[in-house]
Amino acid sequence: MSPSDESSGNRTYTRRNILETSALAGLGSLAGCTSLYSDQTGAQISLSDFRGSGPLVSGRQPPGGVSMEEMPDLSGTLTLYLGGGERGLYVRLFDLLREKYPEFTLLTNTGPSTRLAQTIIQEYQSNALQGDVFLPVDAGALGVVAAAGATQKLPDSILTKVPRKFRGDNGQWTGLEGRVRSIPYNTNKFDESDIPNDIFAFPDTSALKGTMGWAPTYGAFQAFITAMRILNGPSKTKEWLREMMNYGVQRYGNEYFVASAVADGAIGAGFANHYYALRVQNARPDAPLKLAFTTDDAGSLVNVSGACVLAGTQQESLAQNFIRHLLSSEAQEFFATVTKGYPLIKGVAPLGNLPTIRQLNPPEFDLTKLKNLQKTIDLMREVGVL
């Protein structure tokens, strides 16, 4: 990557320069991933178990932060409400925890994040909460549950691990893994210089006209529009949506399909969370697909998957300890290398092809406000996007 790219703030990370950087970084750190961690009670689990594989991973520095070894053992039965399809992604992490702690039993109830949030609120209001921990993929769902009073404050020892902007008001929840809004684009059709670094510049960029795609019914997209509505006001947001529609943007059912359509060349670029492009790339390494990011606007919003302890749980200390484990160096390394998200604790870097959150320069935004989804839906409906 050239220095001018970095200073202009318009960063696009090619596969090639990732390989170069990670090859350099890898020389000094091979030892880090082979060191074995042992535990008296459970199986021997090494850091490499928590890591993904591939060239981007093998050269990584050992993660910073606090290791699971320094945390109390997990023991007892915990019921987790797990939002999104993330169980498919996090299951390996949970399996490792089970292997490491034979005394630990984890039961999960899975469903879309907003649906689980509503179920939790209903359960809470009927005094029949079933779960101990809620782990959705969207900060808005955590905000909704917290606003209903169904959460309890996390201890400061957990909260201080994560930057303030990735936590809830009054310490009601904490982020675990970041996900960034991005512009996946087809490299056969566009260069990185064709992609604007200002979200509001898209409707004026004639090169992209009629070639873009989005998924307006998808939660992550609606969170992005919620952020735009709050950051820039409803009228500017409506105008942007209208202009994009006139611009001939195509609609998809979810953002994986958007990233996939970009890779296929069916569209030239789209709006999607960053990891969808990485997953498409994982499936089709030769796909002509790269990511671009906007700067300091809703287009580069960093949302989080996060966790809260549910009010009235009988398993308070286990629930807290579980969340603490998800913020350990091993779990954060897992989020970085396996699910390809953004680790949120100090000392663990995102995958080599991704800019750091600091480099991204995302907008200042209170994630709890993402819970005000209904106004966003009304706005999107008014302009006819929904």
Partner 1 sequence: MEMYARITQRIRGYDDQDIGLTLLSGGIAAFILLPLIWLLIRSTYVDISRAREVLFRPTTAQIFINSILLVILVTTLSLLIGVPLAVLTVQTDLPFRRFWTIAVALPLVIPSYIGAFAYMSGFGPNGVIANVLSPLGIETVPAVVGLSGTVLVLTLFTYPYVFLTTRAALLSFNSTLLEAARSLNHSRWSAFRNVTLPRILPGIAAGALLVALYTLSDFGTPAIMRYDVFTRIIYVEYGAYGKDFAALLSVQLVVITTVILAIESQLEVPESTNQATLTNRKARQSLGIWKYPATIYCLVVVTLALLLPLGILFYWLFHGSAGITGTEFSIEYAVNSVYVSGLAAIVAVLAAIPVAYHSARNNSLISRLFERATYIGYAVPGVVIGLALVSFGLQYAQFLYQTIPLLIFAYIVRFLPQAVGTIRTSTLQMDPALIDAARSLGHSSVSTFRRVTLPLIGPGVIAGGALVFLTTMKELPATLMLGPIGFETIVTYIWIVQKSGYYGKAAIPALILVAISGLSMVVLLARGDFRGQQ
What CA–CA distance (Å, rounded) separates 188 from 362? Answer: 28
Give least dist CB 252 to partner 1, A: 7
Q: From the CB of 173, what's the least distance to partner 1, in Å?
A: 17
d(CA 88, CA 94): 10
Of 260 and 294, which CB lies nearer to partner 1 in the complex structure?
A: 260
Minimum CB distance to partner 1 smaller for 101 or for 257: 257
Minimum gap (Å) between residue 57 Cβ and partner 1: 13
Residues that bind partner 1 (CB under 8 A): 79, 84-89, 91-92, 94-95, 107-112, 114-115, 117-119, 122-123, 125-126, 128, 130-131, 144, 217, 219, 222, 251-253, 256-257, 260, 264-266, 276, 279-280, 282-284, 338, 371, 373-374, 376-378, 381, 384, 386
Distance CA 262, CA 265 (A): 5
**Smallest separation, CB 386 to partner 1 (Å):** 6
Residue closer to partner 1 by CB (options 104, 200) is 104
Residue with tokens 């409707």: 203
Position 4, amino acid:
S
DSSP for 209-234 reads: TT-EEE-TTSHHHHHHHHHHHHHH-H
71 forms beta bridges with: none
Q: Which is nearer to partner 1, 159 or 311 (CB)?
A: 311
Contact between 262 and 289 under an 8 Å Cβ cutoff? The reply is yes
Minimum CB distance to partner 1, residue 87 (Å): 5
Distance CA 259, CA 269 (A): 8
Give the HSE-up count for residue 95: Cα atoms under 13 Å, Cβ half-sphere: 8
Smallest gap, in angstroms, from Cβ of residue 131 to partner 1? 8
Which CB atom, from 172 or from 226, has the smaller least distance to partner 1? 226
Instruction: Please state the φ and ψ torsions of residue 263, each to the nearest 5 degrees.
Output: -60, -35
Nearer Cβ to partner 1, position 158 or 373?
A: 373
User: Least CB distance from residue 254 to partner 1, whole Å?
Assistant: 8
Q: Which residues contact 120 (CB under 8 A, 6 or more apart)?
A: 81, 129, 131, 134, 145, 150, 310
d(CA 24, CA 352): 11
Q: Are 228 and 199 in contact (CB under 8 A)?
A: yes
Q: Which residues pair with 383 in a beta bridge?
A: none
**Cβ closest to partner 1, residue 53 vs residue 157:** 53
